[in-house]
Amino acid sequence: AGSFVAYSDSQAETSTPNLDLAQKDPKKKRIVVLGTGWAGTSFLKDLDISSCDVQVVSPRNYFAFTPLLPSVTCGTVEARSIVEPVRNIVKKRNGEIRFWEAECLKIDAANNRVMCRSNIENLVGNREFSLEYDYLVVAVGAQVNTFNTPGVKENCYFLKEVEDAQKIRAGVIDCFEKAVLPGLSEEERRTNLHFVIVGGGPTGVEFAAELHDFFQEDLVKLYPMVKDLVKITMVQSGDHILNMFDERISSFAERKFQRDGIEVLTGCRVLDVSEKAITMKNKAKGETSSVPHGLVVWSTGVGPRPLVRDFMEQIGQRKQRILATDEWLRVKGCENVYALGDCATIDQRKIMEDISAIFKAADKDNSGTLTVKEFQDVIEDIVIRYPQVDLYLKSKHLMDVTDLLRDPEGRERDEVDIEGFKLALSHVDSQMKSLPATAQVAAQQGAYLSHCFNRMEQCAENPEGPRRFRSTGRHAFRPFQYKHFGQFAPLGGEQAAAELPGDWVSMGHSTQWLWYSVYASKQVSWRTRVLVVSDWTRRFIFGRDSSR
Ligand code: FAD
Ligand code: MG
Ligand code: MG
Ligand code: MG
Ligand code: MG
């Protein structure tokens, strides 16, 4: 009975409709988080909520482990095995993170408010609500980019969300069932079994490899009558597939696809996709051709969501291609809004813009020249503040930053003046590049930002450290630094390629086993880890499930 009373008491406390959005403790800072993907969940995971009031908005109440999405398209892994309920992630021992399954429709930056709408079907009551924030964390990711190519939205499959992967799985099986119906001509059967993949990036390549394996390992036995009619074509606008990887990997992939009979059309731009055919132009020859298809998967990169576009208009980033933040992930032109993951990019400051100030701060004795010792004292901070310095050293195969201070003949110098210093660093900014739109970047940014929020009070007075480029020390607020742990490209047939830090490249069967172990270990919970590993095991023993 006692527990029943306690239960009804707490019910009474929260039953007033307005109360569920109202703040429980007015002293706490209100944080609203948009999105529960890689960036959003990684932010929530380590966030200390004892001093803040956190609300999360996302139209999906789960986190999806996107690197395994291509495996879902052919049933190698089940969709349920790669998703984790958000509520498992946000439940915390020392308090509550409130989650609302809704889509944010508008960020009202001037009034520190977001407008949201629930899309749950058959909802009784009000769908729309707004939330006020002191800090907003935008982690809504990006959307597929069709480059406004006619017919793509209507006639292509995508590979971005879990539902997309499930649709592809059903679509592929449908193509086989269609192709074996009685009364079709051989040409019609061929068309139904022509699979086209637009985009030769990691996602497109991995899907092509999955599809080829699915066919070779499972479907060939179930549909032997059409086994010679299947064709996979990959269309890539650049000269090579996987062109963001090391050359060795990209040519390994091309050779493997050639052996597998996957046709790779490079230097081709898709002009139009209709229900029956795909039209493309060979850029070198200038020829246009139209090919009938059974199914097209469009995987050519991502662009900003309308929500983010609208926000950019509001805050004077109309001309930007993508939402820009500073190196602390704060949105430019909007003090209390942070953006991370695929929806934003860091606008890295150029070292040449600050060169005189850096020189002045380094020249502690005001002699007008910098000694090697003075330079060494500040270099660590410079490298943190301007990551391009490190990239520049690597690109020039320099071992040590002090090598920058050598004279043009390569001799060591005792000191440099401001002109010499400028000259030494003049090419460094050419190495600036924006971070890739990957889970690795998004997750590291989420972890970084929660770390900053957890120490917000210490950092409030000094958000950028004592000086812009100077002593960031142990307790001050460092800019975000990305650490690259390498990249995989599974290529099918139990083979994979990997690019690891330090210019390491590895390819073949053993790399596939490395892939299995890395992706098992990266699972967000033991539950999904067990599910994924048992899916793999099931596939090894019984093959993939070919029902629709
Ligand atoms: P997302 O993970 O996309 O999360 C966005 C979140 O915002 C979602 O929860 C979404 O529901 C929510 N949202 C959307 N609109 C709204 C709105 N209006 N209001 C509120 N919430 C909203 N990266 C790698 O590093 N390695 C890989 O192997 C790899 N493989 C990939 C394979 C595929 C098929 C795909 C599609 C991507 C892959 N990526 C990989 C890239 C990686 O998934 C993304 O870079 C990463 O998901 C970006 O994280 P994010 O949090 O910015 O966005
Ligand atoms: Mg996210
Ligand atoms: Mg995600
Ligand atoms: Mg980004
Ligand atoms: Mg000096």
* CA neighbours closer than 13 Å in the CB half-sphere of residue 217: 20
Torsion of the alpha carbons at 467, 448, 159 and 227, rounded to the nearest 10: 120
Tokens (6 digits) for 447: 């972890």
Query: Cα of 225 to ligand 1 centre, how many Å?
Result: 40
In order, the DSSP letters of 39-92 are HHHHHHHH--GGGEEEEEEESSSEEE-GGGHHHHTTTSS-GGGGEEEHHHHH-B
Could you tell me the maximum CA-CA distance found in the chain, to the nearest angstrom?
A: 91
Looking at the CA of 443, which ligand is closest?
1
Query: Per CATH, is 152-303+485-542 categorized as 3.50.50.100?
Result: yes
Q: In the chain, what are the domain boundaries?
A: 20-59+102-142+304-344, 152-303+485-542, 350-433
Q: Output the pLDDT for position 461.
A: 55
Q: What is the pLDDT of residue 413?
A: 80
Class of domain 20-59+102-142+304-344: alpha beta
Q: Ligand 2 is a single-atom ion; what residues have CB below 5 A from it?
A: 35, 37, 39-40, 139
Strand 29-34, strand 52-58: pairing: parallel
**According to the model, what pLDDT value does residue 473 have?**
42
| H or E segment and range at residue 151 | none
* Residue 215 DSSP label: I
Asked whether the domain spanning 350-433 has the same topology as the one spanning 20-59+102-142+304-344, the reply is: no
Q: Which residues contact 216 (CB under 8 A, 6 or more apart)?
A: 493
Q: Which residues are CB-contacts of 470 (< 8 A; sequence separation ≥ 6)?
A: 361, 378, 381
Distance 38 CA to ligand 2 centre (A): 5
CATH of domain 350-433: 1.10.238
Which amino acid would we find at residue 499?
E
How far, in Å, from the CA of 446 to the mean position of ligand 2? 8
Atom of ligand 1 nearest to the CA of 165: 34
From the alpha carbon of 70, which atom of ligand 1 is closest?
34
pLDDT of residue 136: 98
Of 282, 236, 234, 235, nearest to 262 by C-alpha is: 234
Q: Do the interacting molecules here have an ipTM over 0.95?
A: yes
**Closest of 127, 141, 111, 120 to residue 33, by C-alpha:** 141
E-state strands within 118-156: 128-132, 135-138, 143-144
Q: Report pLDDT for 396.
A: 82
Distance from the Cα of residue 283 to its chain's centroid: 30
Ligand nearest to the CA of 68: 1
- 520 vs 483, 499, 507, 528, CA distance in Å? 21, 18, 19, 9
> Pairing mode, if any, of strands 231-235 and 262-265?
parallel
Q: Does residue 95 sit in helix, strand or coil?
A: strand
In this structure, the residues whose C-beta lies within 6 A of any atom of ligand 1 are: 34-40, 57-60, 66-67, 69-70, 103-104, 139-141, 159-160, 203, 305, 307, 341-343, 437-440, 442
CA distances from 508 to 253, 310, 489, 514, 515 (A): 10, 46, 11, 10, 11
Q: What are the helix (H) ranges across 180-274? A: 186-192, 202-214, 220-222, 247-260
Pairing type for strands 62-64 and 52-58 reads unpaired
Q: What is the pLDDT of residue 3?
A: 38
CB under 5 Å of ion ligand 3: residues: 37-38, 64, 66
Handedness of CA 100, 105, 109, 112 (dihedral sign): negative
User: Ligand 1 test: best mutation among 42, 438, 440, most atoms within 8 Å of CB?
Assistant: 438
Query: In Å, what is the CA distance from 424 to each residue of 122, 287, 393, 404?
Result: 66, 49, 12, 6
Distance of CA 418 to the CA centre of its chain: 41
- Mutation choice for ligand 1 from 105, 211, 342, CB with most ligand atoms inside 8 A: 342
Distance in angstroms (rounded) separating the CA atoms of residues 535 and 163: 19
Q: What is the pLDDT of residue 23?
A: 65
Say how many Å lie between the CA of residue 342 and the centre of ligand 1. Answer: 7
SS3 112: coil
Both tokens assigned to 134: 């002191």
Beta-carbon contacts of residue 193 (< 8 Å; ≥ 6 apart): 175, 176, 179, 226, 229, 230, 231, 294
Q: Which residues surround ligand 5, an ion (CB under 5 A)?
A: 363, 365, 367
* Nearest CA among 314, 248, 315 for reference residue 497: 248
CA of 260 to the centre of ligand 4 (A): 35
Phi and psi at residue 167, in whole multiples of 5°? -65, -40
If you write DSSP's letter for every residue of 268-315 in order, what string do you get?
EEEEEE-SSEEEEEETTT--EEEEE-SEEEE---EE--HHHHHHHHHT
532 CA distance to ligand 1 middle (Å): 19
| Sole residue written with tokens 């009070």 | 457
Q: How far is the CA of 329 from the centre of ligand 4 (A)?
A: 10
Which listed ligand is nearest to 40 at the C-alpha? 2
**141 Cα to the center of ligand 2, angstroms:** 6
User: For 270-285, b where at least 16 C-beta lie within 10 A, e where not — what string?
Assistant: bebbeeebbbbbeeee
Q: Going residue by residue through the chain, which has 548 residues, state the pLDDT in tens, using 9 for 90 and above.
A: 333 333 333 443 443 334 466 666 778 899 999 999 999 999 999 999 888 899 999 999 999 999 999 999 999 999 999 999 999 998 877 778 999 999 999 999 999 999 999 999 999 989 999 999 999 999 999 999 999 999 999 999 999 999 999 999 999 999 999 999 999 999 999 999 999 999 999 999 999 999 999 999 999 999 999 999 999 999 999 999 999 999 999 999 999 999 999 999 999 999 999 999 999 999 999 999 999 999 999 999 899 999 999 999 999 999 999 999 999 999 999 989 999 999 999 999 899 999 988 888 888 888 888 888 888 888 878 888 888 888 888 888 887 777 777 777 777 788 888 888 888 888 899 888 889 999 999 999 999 999 999 987 666 555 554 344 444 444 457 899 999 999 999 999 999 999 998 888 999 999 999 999 999 999 999 999 999 999 999 999 999 999 88
232: enclosing H helix or E strand: strand 231-235
Distance between CA atoms of residues 199 and 244, nearest Å: 12
Q: Which amino acid is at 64?
A: A
Number of the ligand closest to the Cα of 518:
1
